[in-house]
Amino acid sequence: MSRQFQKLTRVVRAKPLTDEEATIAKRKRDAAQAEAPEVIAQFRAKQAALAFAAEIKSAREYQKLTLQQVADAAGMDVSNIAKLENGQRENPTIDTIFRVAGALGKQVELKLVDKAQSRS
């Protein structure tokens, strides 16, 4: 799974697209989405996981806690916390997420939504 994500990169342009370029880009995006929606869904899930990992790290740093302190409070190894924060644990268990959140004095909220609503 991770090999797919290594090939996807975000391109930033120095100048805005012309109307014609924007139309061509939209057609290409639509074609790619029609051809491989599962890859796009996986990429969005990976982005969400990385954003969650960044939230964990940010909360820890804001509280001036070390990895060791969070690991001790969560009853986990330091390496597991570090991997979670850096997005190297692609599929952490719900238990792991709740334990780390508890160690940070946070709570986790899970929400079930329709696929059409989850797109942003």
pLDDT given for residue 31 in this prediction:
83
Q: Is the dihedral of CA 108, 110, 116, 117 positive or negative?
A: negative
pLDDT single digits (tens) 14-60:
788 889 999 999 998 888 777 777 777 788 888 888 888 999 999 99
Q: Are 69 and 111 in contact (CB under 8 A)?
A: no
Q: Give the gyration radius of the chain's Cα atoms.
A: 18
Torsion of CA 14, 15, 20, 21, to 10 degrees: 10
Query: Which pTM was predicted?
Result: 0.61
- 17-113 topology per CATH: 434 Repressor (Amino-terminal Domain) (1.10.260)
Segments in 1-120 forming alpha helices (H): 2-7, 19-35, 37-62, 67-74, 78-85, 94-103, 115-118
Do 86 and 56 meet the contact criterion of CB atoms below 8 Å apart? no
| Greater pLDDT, 2 or 64 | 64
* Domain ranges across the chain: 17-113
